[in-house]
Amino acid sequence: MALPAASVQLYSLAKEFTADPNGSLDRLAAIGFAYVEAFDFVRRPAEIRAALDASGLRAPTAHAPLLSDELWTPDGAIPTPSPEVVFEAAATIGVQTVIDPFVAPERWLTEDGVADIADRLNRVAETAASFGLTVGYHNHAQEFVASFGDQTAYERFVALTDERVQLELDLFWALTGGQDVPALVARLGDRLTAVHVKDGVVPASNPWAPGAPSFGSDSLDQRHAGTGDVPLAEALRAGTGIRYAVVEYDHAPGDVFADIAASYAFLRDGGFVA
């Protein structure tokens, strides 16, 4: 199996990238990255494409909401444009796969809700194909609250989606959801084309479960890859078709570029990326 390529989710450095796109990408290139994962790109595709070209980086994957009227994040909601507008912007940037990063917790609690999510993403995949693109889904931990028979809501969703729909597993959030992460990676097989390499102290309880207190990303105790609770090495070794190992911090513990460099070093020195 070919090793995945290292990437970094630009949400990790949202403030820095917004203030200085060119300088931020140049610093990521200097660390050793050839790829990034775009975030909040739909309103400024030409600007982001120019910055990527200037730094010599590419963004084969990107996050944008496809299944919700607005994208909720712990730090605020972002209104969502139509899929066609998203895909046109993605094509401008050179994105190959647009990944929905979040579907509200309550939609994962019933079989009908999960079926609706899968059906919507299957339909969106058809629209994406007309732009020469594919789509995917990125989890948090709400997908693992409910189970139907012997399947979690997440695995029911996987079973109901077309095989063209790609999966990006956030390893930190899967562990927060109580999953045996390496075993889940192995079960997903070649459907799993990207992982979020994220580490830290996993919350004592699932913050997305019904009745859980609200939280923000600044409450997370996240750490450099290889220094927290997440079995990253085992999970990466369990993959069979992972193309991108994407470094991400929801809440970087220190200087974000130094933190990203530390997680990149874990991937590089451990032989987990090409």
Report helix, strand or coil for 177: coil
Question: Does residue 231 contact residue 182 with C-beta atoms inside 8 Å?
Answer: yes
Number of H helices, E strands in the chain: 10, 14
> Beta partners for 136?
99, 166
pLDDT at site 76: 72
Q: Cα separations (Å) of 100 from 16, 84, 118, 124, 215? A: 23, 14, 12, 11, 21
Please check whether residue 98 is in contact with residue 66, taking contact to mean a CB–CB distance below 8 angstroms. Answer: yes
Residues in CB range of 183: below 8 A, 6 or more apart = 238
- pLDDT for 20 equals 97
CATH superfamily to which 5-269 belongs: Divalent-metal-dependent TIM barrel enzymes (3.20.20.150)
CA distance readout (Å), 150 to 154, 155, 189: 11, 9, 18
133: amino acid identity, one letter: L
Query: CA-CA distance, 274 to 32, in Å (whole number)?
Result: 11
- pLDDT of the residue at 214: 87
The whole-number pLDDT of residue 261 equals 98
Q: Which of 137, 259, 123, 265 is nearest to 194 (CA)?
A: 137
pTM for this model (two decimals) = 0.96
Domain ranges of the chain: 5-269
- DSSP tag of 107: G
Query: What pLDDT, on a 0 to 100 scale, did the predictor assign at position 74?
Result: 60
CA distance linking residue 155 with residue 143, whole number of Å: 9
With a cut of 50, list the residues of the chain below it in pLDDT.
none
Q: What is the rounded distance in angstroms from the CA atom of residue 244 to the CA atom of residue 109?
A: 30
Integer Cα distance of 115 and 161 in angstroms: 9
Check residue 202 and give its pLDDT. Answer: 97
Give the pLDDT of residue 4.
98
**Cβ(128)–Cβ(134) under 8 Å?**
yes
